[in-house]
Amino acid sequence: MTSLEAFLRDYGLWALFFAAAIEGDMTLLLTGVLVHLGIWHAPKALLVGTAGGLAGDCFYFWLGHGTARRWLTTAHGQRLWPRIERAAQRYGLRSLFFARYIYGARIATMFFWGVQRVPVLKFVALDALNCLIWASTFGGLGFLFSNSLEKLIGELRVVETGLLLGLVAFALLLGLRYYLVELARIREEIKKGGAQP
């Protein structure tokens, strides 16, 4: 067992939970591969993926309850809101079931139903079923196509250390760039402030 496999056995389900809450499609495809490799048990992985997706959806639903007015005044909110309203009028709460498969629609749809003050228990019950179907679909696809994906993972194991070092270096460079841009912005503001009478 490699160190990566050991890590995934020990801590991977926590990572699955949080990754499914944030961005789940690719995560669940990879989950199917890991189930096929025997690293995770299918029922446990399915349950954790479903729970992660539901937790993420509930968070955005909760935001819709609390910060709706502020978001609606943004340019992004004003552009998206009419489209979401049209879909909601046409499909009602069934829009939960297909919004998850449309890139960029999941978060906005959960937020929308929070704004509409749908009863929490009704939302959670429907979305739990939705998340179970979603986790089963993508996890199943990952399992079915695991032979192709497994070859890719095998190749990644060879460059595992180099890949990790590359990702760390990339993150450091992004952080340095952000720091330099912020420093330049602060200096510019100080110059403008000093130039004013």
Full-prediction pTM beyond 0.85? no
**Is the pLDDT confidence value at 173 over 80?**
yes
**Is the pLDDT confidence value at 46 over 80?**
yes
Q: Are 120 and 6 in contact (CB under 8 A)?
A: no
From the list 2, 100, 165, the residue with the least C-alpha distance to 12 is 2
pLDDT level of residue 15 (50, 70, 90 thresholds): confident
Return the C-alpha torsion angle 46, 52, 57, 62, nearest 10.
Answer: 140
- Please tell me the distance from the alpha carbon of residue 74 to that of residue 92, in angstroms, as a whole number: 25
What's the angle, vertex CA 90, arms to CA 73 and CA 83, rounded to 5? 30
Q: Are 26 and 139 in contact (CB under 8 A)?
A: no
From the number of C-beta atoms within 10 Å of its C-beta (0-12, 13-18, 19+), residue 132 rates as middle
| pLDDT tens per residue, range 94-118 | 888 877 887 767 877 888 888 888 8
